[in-house]
Structure 1
């Protein structure tokens, strides 16, 4: 059986340095404060996000899922979660676009034999949640920068 790779992307311009934006993204324990799609984050570790770490994420209208961090660097992080027939990869990257400005790119990639079915029934919610994450991130960072 062949697999299908489907990706959703959301980019947002933010009036803050890339390092600040990436720091807010990597602080996943704080996501419920600014990301309206997130109901709860259970992160057993503290301190900096690390490769191999697992984090339990509960989003509204979805079952809780365990994400494993696969990459962390100064520009963001990547994590993956698996469910029957689908592997989901979330990529959170930030790049500078000018003095005190940056662009965050949020990507959710689905692959596996049930990726197409997941996209068919869940694509609208995925796009909505990426919008909520992007706009929440922008508001959170710009509010912090204004202080």
Structure 2
């Protein structure tokens, strides 16, 4: 299962990226996050992040990749892996495009993915809209 959405934001890419990368502040601007706790000293590949979301058990994500406009993290579960990709692309001096993607793969992915799809779509779309509001507000 893969769900991907994009949103254009009327704000500089660097400013939006600063919001996206500061994962521990997400609960202050998106209702899809209860707590986000970096478990390591730096947000870099290999770091772990404990994520609690409303109505769900906490997950521990491992940061797989980070650069100046993108990060990817994943959480392993029994029989499947869930992952999220976050990208910010500049569209000019004061405008950018944000792409958020969430996937579920692995042996049980074909079962878990369809069962989770409605929640995934709702959460990812909410996060995109909340990020846009935060960055433009």
TM range (shorter): over 0.9
- 1:2-17 equivalences under 5 Å are 6-17=1-12
- Counterpart pick for 2:94 among 100, 105, 111: 100
- Extract structure 1 runs of 4+ deviating beyond 6 A: none
Once residues 98 and 127 of structure 2 are traced to their aligned partners in structure 1, the CA distance between those partners, rounded to angstroms, is 10
Query: TM-score normalized by structure 1?
Result: 0.88
Report the CA distance between 1:52 and its aligned residue: 0.8
SS of the equivalent of 1:98 reads coil
Q: Report the RMSD for the aligned CA atoms in angstroms.
A: 1.2
* Structure 2 unmatched ranges of 5 or more: none
Contact preservation (8 Å) 2:39, 2:50 = no
Give the match for residue 63 of structure 1. 57
Once residues 106 and 70 of structure 1 are traced to their aligned partners in structure 2, the CA distance between those partners, rounded to angstroms, is 15
Contact preservation (8 Å) 2:79, 2:107 = yes
- Counterpart pick for 2:120 among 126, 131, 135: 126
- Counterpart pick for 1:50 among 44, 49, 67: 44
Q: Does 1:78 align with 2:72?
A: yes
In the comparison of the two structures, how many residue pairs are matched? 137
Give the match for residue 138 of structure 1. 132
Give the match for residue 32 of structure 1. 27
Q: When you count strand as a share of all residues, which structure comes out higher?
A: 1
Once residues 90 and 109 of structure 2 are traced to their aligned partners in structure 1, the CA distance between those partners, rounded to angstroms, is 32
Q: 1:96-125: CA deviations, max 9, x gaps?
A: 112300000001111111112112211000
Once residues 58 and 31 of structure 2 are traced to their aligned partners in structure 1, the CA distance between those partners, rounded to angstroms, is 15
